[in-house]
Structure 1
């Protein structure tokens, strides 16, 4: 197998009322994947065969529903890792209600047997 990283996108998502780590994470993933069109994967291999690594950084990693994040991606074998990061800050009225998540989404393709060769 000659797997190559072909796409890396980053995104940010917020939940401004409710401390919902999963909601912020889903918005970060949505932000990241809206920057990409994965036509490359359809051209060289069925998109369901690609591997996608998602890394989410939020203040409280144990509160993220990893399966919900994986289900938000349209194609591939999805691997979700959640780490501590992001932002948890006071919002309107002094309540701690702003949560920011950061997402990194990497897509991999097995290039073996294709005329396509990354440099």
Structure 2
């Protein structure tokens, strides 16, 4: 059994290139910058025990390469899924569309029940 140890949300955008991949990468980076996991240094657990589940939402999910997004994840065994969401904001004056992506980054460890002793 796994236990979720953290969930962080992030937002990223590409204002001029309509690059969904760039917006998604930035959303993941934003979520990761909001977190730290000192549990590994404190307990000696290996990072490889952690499963990282990333969910990215953009208006055109087929324009995302989930495998490429894995490379930006610094630790754990990563899985990336993509769904429809996010936001496209057209600018009628320029014809450009700003792309907004959202991401949720979740980290899971095998159950630690009974392994910790409070002193």
Contact 1:26 1:72 in 2 (8 A): yes
Structure 2: distance between partners of 1:64 and 1:40: 32
Q: How many residues align?
A: 116
Runs of 4+ in 1 over 6 A off after TM superposition: none
**What's the C-alpha RMSD, in Å, of the aligned pairs?**
1.9
Q: CA deviation at 1:18?
A: 1.2
Contact 1:5 1:106 in 2 (8 A): yes
Match of residue 105 from structure 2: 105
Taking structure 2 as the reference length, the TM-score comes to 0.88
Q: CA deviation at 1:25?
A: 0.3
- Give 1:30-41 correspondences, 5 Å limit: 30-41=29-40
Deviations 1:19-74 (A, max 9, x none): 11110000000000001111113434111220000000000001011112111010
Q: CA deviation at 1:109?
A: 0.9
- Which consecutive residues of structure 1, in runs of 5 or more, have no partner in the other structure? none
- Which consecutive residues of structure 2, in runs of 5 or more, have no partner in the other structure? none
Q: Computing the radius of gyration over CA atoms, which structure comes out larger, 1 or 2?
A: 2
